[in-house]
Structure 1
Amino acid sequence: MLTSEMIRPDGELMQRSDRKVEPFGPFLGAHAESGRCVIEGRNGSLLIQWIYEDIIRITGAAAKEALSGPLPAYAAMLSDNGDIPILVQESDETIFLSGGGNRTVEIDKLDLSFRVTDAAGKPMGNRHVYYGGEAHLQCRGEMTGAAQIYGLGETTGFLNKRGERYTMWNSDVYSPHVADMESLYQSIPVLVHHDRGQAYALFIDNPGKIQFDMRKDQDHYLIDLETGLLDAYFVAGPTLKDVVRNYTLLTGRMDMPPLWAIGYQQSRYSYMNQEEVLELARTFRAKGIPCDAIYLDIHYMEEFKVFTFDRQQFPDPKRMIAELKEMGIRIVPIVDPGVKIDERFPVYVDGAEKGLFCVKADGSHFHGEVWPGMSVFPDFSDPEAAKWWGDLHRDYAEMGIAGIWNDMNEPSVFACETHTMDLDVVHRNDGRPITHEAWHNMYGLGMSKATYEGMQRLLNGERPFVLTRAGYAGIQRFAAVWTGDNRSFWEHMAMFMPMSMNLGFSGIAFCGSDIGGFEHSASGELLARWTQMGAFSPLCRNHSAHKTLYQEPWRFGAEVEDICREYISLRYRLLPYLYAYFREATLTGLPILRSLALEYPDDPETYLLSDQFLFGRDLLIAPIYRPGTAHRVVYLPQGVWYDYWTGERHEGGRHIMVHAPLDTLPIFVRGGAVIPETGRAQHTTDAGWSDLTLNYYSLGQSLRESVKNEFQLYEDDGVSENYKQGSYNELRCFAEESEDSLHFGFEELYRGYERSREHVRVVIKHLGTEPKEVSGLKQAASAAELEGMDGWFYDSGRQELILKISQDKAWECAIIK
């Protein structure tokens, strides 16, 4: 526990940004060849390369020699389309470099400060200066006066990071996560600079300790490195969406997860035995609460040894897994990196004999204490060790397990000063040895990569799912992320919103928090409110700690149980909508849970919003995150918005007061949106959407001009990797609406997956009056008659036009209002 001793008057807390440094200049010379240009200065040198048209790599080193030969790339996936030639031009004061596209790097000869401009000379941000000194490197970049800073991965605090300071150093933080905490489990060193709709990103690909300081200087950010090269990638916009697309082009995008991993998941530290797990699953089914996965925390193992089951408490795990699968529930076991030192333990013996564990400089194994006691740790920088680790999941795969939970992989080590591996541990790094101090933030990513690729090899074409606590830039390629050991505090519920939005800006689309909070104990009110919010999180998992109150949805009485059931069920009805945005994330890198600024970059009211978010493009979610609260203010951006529950219409561009009693989560739907739904279900099956309703939210009769909207529905089997070979469907749903008519339809863009669907239901909401004409369809006398025919019926009470169509490949109609 920290006490006032930390601030004693004679103490000295020195920040790295206080250490003496000198700018790299003045200019000494330039040399360009084979797509590389080295600019040499008295105190350091720059290496400039065009990676893509809108991504420029500007690497800094104290000595020119450090930039010779191939440079390491940790998260960056560099272009294989050949070196992009660089043209060098020079004036008395400036060097001009141009490469791919219309970007130019202008370098000042005095101090080697630089800026990136477009063809018109418009700067991508302001000037940056690299500094060297006292065995470390630093970058100082100008922030424009009205800029917001986004990104920086998993950080506490509000959405805008200007005025804050964070350290990229993966840390096991069990202390309550508070605003001044500078390091958590994930280190994603990408800073997004946004000003009045114009944005760029600066990504530092260095897995050692890095500090981002937006506090010391109000007009600059300072980036300070502990080890290694200042390997920076300038990622152009101009919009926030462009930045995210380009950044994930550089660091990678996720694959489609299995559909079951998008369902509701239940966890606890720990469910202690086989019968407790089975009874838990039976209770979900008996109570009609959807659930797709149950997690096993460390108590399922024998003496906490990885890849084992305690046969006293779990006597027949294969039978348990099969019985759960019949109920539509998957098992996700925890796997930590620490391997117990035990000469009777085959995993330890085999790894030690093959030399696959992390070693000190003298070649001896690094030993550290974690759950099983003194342990060794696989060296995931070594391809042989990574493959060995992946193959150790064979028993899980043969039991029917397709999901793995990676924890403690910062790596966390007990009872030592660093709380992680000794910094002088030497990683093999595929023949290029590197210290743990310089490679630390890669450890969790290396573990998740080894796990994901191992499960891919073992699952015979089934999609694996990996959830990780620790990671680095690019982790999205291998794992979903949860935000670690939060607490059952209202403040922690609120904190997840800006944290997840900034993870989205940092390339991580598949993320979530422990619903209800992990440590402390939830109240029924908190669980209800958090479940409402969690139903609209990409990862939807309830998790609680040992010795806290159990917080399954039924633990706090009938009212809370009903609320949890309703919102979890709503998530399942919206799976066609959610799954389409997962597909978009695989293609573009854009997040599923997103800041309003991402969709409305020209609206200053969205720039600082930390307590509401968009779920996809068309659903605005405004959670209640304070106890005893039934009202809140919601900002609606420009356009028409409908209250999801009441249908009340609102004109955007303003704040409104919303009434939200305990059973109500404020949800608003964008006018003009197409929201696909499927039927209620207790678990996921496939993503063929045999039961499909397309809801169109009409803009009404006050339109001054015609408005077009569309939604692209995505289908596949939800479980295999066959979609990568073309086994999927894409259906474009479109609408064009004017004051007196609506043209609505859908067309099949691509068909490669066979599924059965007898009909499609279309619901036009908020039409206002019964239409005068619906082309090509007969009017039914009642909703009941419509069930037996293709046609339409107008529900005057709900102001909804309901259409039933047997055709599901191509169809359209004109509706005269």
Structure 2
Amino acid sequence: MKFRDGMWLVAEGKRVEYAEEVYSINEAPDGKKITLLCPTMQIRSRGDTLNRPTLTVELEAVMDDILSIEVTHWHGAQNKGPHYDLFPSGRPDVNAIIAKTEQGTTISAGNLSATVSSAPHTFDIRFHSKDGKDKLTSLLNRSVGLAYDPATSSPMQTADMREINHYILTQSTLSVGEQVYGLGERFGALNKVGQAITLWNADGGTSSDQAYKNIPFWLSNRGYGVFIDATEKVDLEVGSERCSRVQTSVLGQRLKWHIIYGPSPKQILDKYTTLTGKPAKVPTWSFGLWLSTSFTTDYDDATVLSFLEGMKARDIPLQVFHYDCFWLRAFHWCDFVFSPKHFPDPKASITRLKASGLMNKVCVWINPYLGQASPVFAEAASKNYLLKRKNGDVFQWDLWQGGMGIIDFTNPEACEWYTSCLEKLFDIGVDSLKTDFGERIPSKDVQWFDTSVAPEKMHNYYAYIYNKVVYEALQKRYGKYEAVLFARAATAGTQQFPLQWGGDCESTFEAMAESLRGGLSLGMCGFSFWSVDIGGFEGTPDASIYKRWVQFGLLCSHSRLHGSNSYRVPWLVDDDDKSEQGCSAVLRKFTQLKCRLMPYLYSEAMESIKHGWPVSVRAMAIEFPEDKTAWLCDQQFMLGSSLLVAPVFDESGEVEFYLPEGKWTSFWDGQVVEGPKWVKETHQFDTLPLYVREGSILVLGREGEKRTTWDWTKDVEVKTFFPNGKSSFRLVDPDNKELATITAVKSDDDWNVKGAEGLAR
């Protein structure tokens, strides 16, 4: 939302009042917070203190290297929930210091400081490293304010605020060359400078400025990140109102955000996920291939069996079979009952399929909506489990399902009831759940069971509580570390309930690229696990697009074949081409490659969740923050810390990608390329650019491996790639217990590995 018309004028219809000076500074007794009283004009006489708004700015040391900034106009305004659950694993101690000098007052948290200038009649707050080496960002003149829309002409008008919108806004400075990343799974340009972004979950596909996963966190290439502690709609102008500032605004009387000092991206993400929650561990079987029925396709027991047998006949290892929406009866979504016409005995069928070895686990699609045609709607409505309108009616509309209602997860009894419905699915043999939707949550004319929450704050936050309820139900049944979701909607903290997938993309190379940008952006917001609809969701991919998407999708942390109105089994895409360049052969090769990578991949995953890093589709800048070119790369990614992947986005097989400094070894043929440099290659469908970083140690399964879980001390090989004194790899088992720590040791003029003695091929 723009509040100004260029630099000089206020936008038509708006009135803005800015903090013009710091009138007084009060220090909290615990020495961790300072409070600034900031009038909206410079106070030069006693009369200037009258008839004038003031803004309160609180700077607090939250934990080492994190300071919070809260701006408030009227303190008497209710601060309704929901609020983000910060420090879910416990709040660390903070080394807070407040110091006063002639230049100003400085509050420090660990290595991060904010200095409030003591210059008279000035509003000037500078954020910097404690040693002064790194200058991060600032709040300068006309950078903190309140705004009215429509504009008021007299303070008397604010006696009735029912028709007046009140905003709080801040504008932090952007330095020369500064770039901004993150803000959720966004599908446009990776660098957000120049974009106007609204953080408001929406079911808008992957080809617009709407997003399923709006995360109020952004990361700067200058060594800091910002977490906006606001569950409501947040509007950002990232260098798009004033080119040298990031403007953040909310509708209300207060705005709070945290600045997080890294200085590296990895350190920033580690601290950010300490604040909002670390991603949880996922089971090894979930890393294997998932196959879906697709959305509106016609399928039954016989169809499922034919797909599974077809995959086995083509030697394509499959871990999970997913039943999408139409496992339910039409108009009965989501009532948790298999369609008796298509699946007369689902428990027996699932039991047989698992026993046959055709698949390992079962996933089914669910959402938090109840169509009124189903008996469970009446049950939920009668027990007050559904969201209501302000007049007491159940909130209903005909969007998606006829007369559908929305589960009210602010009602603890509704959560228990919903969990009991899920438990009936677990009894049948369902192991995982695709938690679809959760974005279209109304914010007008609604009344939640918990009257302490504000409807506009529940819109984004609903994704958090919905996925939390389902995830905890899975944990309760299968164990803490066996739970895994396939979730679409998210907000800050939802990374604790993995995993998330990229939503409804088209079956095109362009959609494949925009999906990658979405995954890269989400990974820069503390989400370790991410997947995508291999082949694209909307439309029917041709063989070229399908195979290139298979390559990309099997090198994501999680991999699922899924579509809308067409199947995604490979033999139906290319008329069962049995050549080595056919769809089945490509899917087989890359599925087996992922299985082979499991000792490396899983160990990297355990390190990633410890710090809140993305496992795959890891932005190049996370690994190479000193390389300016790495910050610009949006068509390639790192898989863990050692493997570089460049998907092919062209039917010709031509691809151009960037290799940072060092020696890079092709995974396929051992060819070595010295970076930094841009490289052009042409690939058939059985390869893509996959390079190993200099200094890497990889523990790999045997070629043709079909398992995701086995004893990783056996049937493995240890490979080194130009090892050096920093080369090290910690191999863990599926319980995250250390199997080996492998390091490189120099002997004479050669390097050998140490610590791999217990590993046998």
Superposition TM-score tier, normalisation by shorter sequence: 0.7 to 0.9
1:409 aligns with 2:438: yes
Residue 391 to residue 584, structure 1, CA distance change in 2 (3 Å): farther
2:670 paired residue number: 647
Deviation of 1:630 (Å):
3.0
1:44-193 aligned within 5 A: 44-66=55-77, 73-77=83-87, 80-81=90-91, 88-89=98-99, 94-98=104-108, 100-108=109-117, 110=121, 112-128=123-139, 129-134=143-148, 135-174=166-205, 177-178=206-207, 181-193=208-220
Residue 637 to residue 555, structure 1, CA distance change in 2 (3 Å): same
1:662-681 aligned within 5 A: 662-679=685-702
Deviation of 1:543 (Å):
0.9
Q: 549, 560, 570: which is aligned to 1:541?
A: 560
Cα distance in 2 for residues equivalent to 1:275 and 1:555: 20
Q: 461, 466, 469: which is aligned to 1:447?
A: 466
Task: Please report the TM-score for the alignment, with normalisation by the length of structure 2.
Answer: 0.86
Residue 122 to residue 389, structure 1, CA distance change in 2 (3 Å): farther
State whether residues 469 and 482 of structure 1, in contact with CA within 8 Å, keep that contact through their aligned partners in structure 2.
yes
State whether residues 46 and 59 of structure 1, in contact with CA within 8 Å, keep that contact through their aligned partners in structure 2.
yes
2:634 paired residue number: 610
Letter in 2 for 1:333: V
Letter in 2 for 1:491: E
1:238-317 aligned within 5 A: 238-267=263-292, 268-269=294-295, 270=297, 272-303=299-330, 304-306=332-334, 307-317=336-346
SS at structure 2 position matched to 1:708: coil
The C-alpha deviation readout for 1:735-772, integer Å capped at 9, x for no partner, is 13477222312169xxxxxxxx9x513xxxxxxxxxxx
SS at structure 2 position matched to 1:472: coil
Cα distance in 1 for residues equivalent to 2:705 and 2:328: 29
State whether residues 64 and 94 of structure 2, in contact with CA within 8 Å, keep that contact through their aligned partners in structure 1.
no
Cα distance in 1 for residues equivalent to 2:302 and 2:516: 36
Cα distance in 2 for residues equivalent to 1:384 and 1:737: 63
Cα distance in 1 for residues equivalent to 2:611 and 2:750: 34
Deviation of 1:225 (Å):
1.8
SS at structure 1 position matched to 2:433: strand
Deviation of 1:462 (Å):
6.3
Cα distance in 2 for residues equivalent to 1:300 and 1:103: 53
Deviation of 1:494 (Å):
1.4
Residue 454 to residue 78, structure 1, CA distance change in 2 (3 Å): closer
State whether residues 139 and 222 of structure 1, in contact with CA within 8 Å, keep that contact through their aligned partners in structure 2.
yes
Residue 690 to residue 82, structure 1, CA distance change in 2 (3 Å): closer
1:207 aligns with 2:265: no
Cα distance in 2 for residues equivalent to 1:616 and 1:238: 20
Q: Identity over aligned residues, as a percent? A: 25
1:634 aligns with 2:657: yes
1:656-805 aligned within 5 A: 656-679=679-702, 684=707, 686-689=709-712, 691-699=714-722, 707-716=725-734, 723=735, 728-737=737-746, 740-746=749-755, 760-761=760-761
SS at structure 2 position matched to 1:452: helix
1:386 aligns with 2:415: yes
1:27 paired residue number: 22
The C-alpha deviation readout for 1:150-192, integer Å capped at 9, x for no partner, is 1111111232222222211110114xx33xx222111111111
The C-alpha deviation readout for 1:180-235, integer Å capped at 9, x for no partner, is x222111111111113xxx1111112122112222232211112223463120111
SS at structure 2 position matched to 1:191: strand
The C-alpha deviation readout for 1:261-298, integer Å capped at 9, x for no partner, is 11111121145212211221111111111211121111
Residue 698 to residue 511, structure 1, CA distance change in 2 (3 Å): closer
State whether residues 257 and 465 of structure 1, in contact with CA within 8 Å, keep that contact through their aligned partners in structure 2.
yes
State whether residues 17 and 224 of structure 1, in contact with CA within 8 Å, keep that contact through their aligned partners in structure 2.
no
2:644 paired residue number: 620
The C-alpha deviation readout for 1:690-737, integer Å capped at 9, x for no partner, is 53423323429xxxxx63301111102xxxxxx4xxx73342111134
Task: Please report the TM-score for the alignment, with normalisation by the length of structure 1.
Answer: 0.81
State whether residues 74 and 253 of structure 2, in contact with CA within 8 Å, keep that contact through their aligned partners in structure 1.
no
State whether residues 489 and 517 of structure 1, in contact with CA within 8 Å, keep that contact through their aligned partners in structure 2.
yes
State whether residues 677 and 694 of structure 1, in contact with CA within 8 Å, keep that contact through their aligned partners in structure 2.
yes
1:38 aligns with 2:35: yes
1:432 paired residue number: 452
SS at structure 1 position matched to 2:465: helix
Residue 41 to residue 71, structure 1, CA distance change in 2 (3 Å): farther
Cα distance in 1 for residues equivalent to 2:189 and 2:62: 32
1:573 paired residue number: 596
SS at structure 1 position matched to 2:136: coil
Letter in 1 for 2:71: G
Letter in 1 for 2:317: P
State whether residues 260 and 683 of structure 1, in contact with CA within 8 Å, keep that contact through their aligned partners in structure 2.
no
Cα distance in 2 for residues equivalent to 1:640 and 1:450: 47
Cα distance in 2 for residues equivalent to 1:24 and 1:140: 12
Letter in 2 for 1:322: T
Cα distance in 1 for residues equivalent to 2:270 and 2:280: 15
Q: 526, 530, 533: which is aligned to 1:511?
A: 530
State whether residues 137 and 175 of structure 2, in contact with CA within 8 Å, keep that contact through their aligned partners in structure 1.
yes
State whether residues 17 and 145 of structure 2, in contact with CA within 8 Å, keep that contact through their aligned partners in structure 1.
yes
Residue 85 to residue 544, structure 1, CA distance change in 2 (3 Å): closer
1:423 paired residue number: 444
Q: Which runs of 5+ in 1 are unaligned?
A: 1-13, 412-419, 701-705, 717-722, 749-756, 762-817
Q: 514, 520, 529: which is aligned to 1:495?
A: 514
2:44 paired residue number: none
Residue 227 to residue 470, structure 1, CA distance change in 2 (3 Å): farther
Cα distance in 2 for residues equivalent to 1:149 and 1:484: 23
Cα distance in 1 for residues equivalent to 2:169 and 2:339: 50
Cα distance in 2 for residues equivalent to 1:230 and 1:468: 29
Q: Would you identify which runs of 4 or more consecutive aligned residues in structure 1 move more than 6 Å?
A: 14-18
Deviation of 1:116 (Å):
2.1
Cα distance in 2 for residues equivalent to 1:660 and 1:163: 35
Cα distance in 2 for residues equivalent to 1:739 and 1:63: 72
Deviation of 1:92 (Å):
7.4
1:463 aligns with 2:472: no
Deviation of 1:487 (Å):
0.3
SS at structure 2 position matched to 1:545: coil
Q: Number of paired residues?
A: 702
Cα distance in 2 for residues equivalent to 1:309 and 1:542: 22
Using the TM superposition, name which of 75-84 and 330-339 deviates more.
75-84
Letter in 1 for 2:58: L
Using the TM superposition, name which of 324-333 and 607-616 deviates more.
324-333
Letter in 2 for 1:636: L
Cα distance in 2 for residues equivalent to 1:18 and 1:577: 58
SS at structure 2 position matched to 1:438: helix
State whether residues 528 and 662 of structure 1, in contact with CA within 8 Å, keep that contact through their aligned partners in structure 2.
yes
Cα distance in 2 for residues equivalent to 1:555 and 1:186: 31
RMSD in angstroms over aligned alpha carbons? 2.8
Q: Which runs of 5+ in 2 are unaligned?
A: 1-8, 40-53, 149-165
Letter in 2 for 1:33: P
Letter in 1 for 2:147: G
1:216 paired residue number: 241
Cα distance in 2 for residues equivalent to 1:15 and 1:388: 52
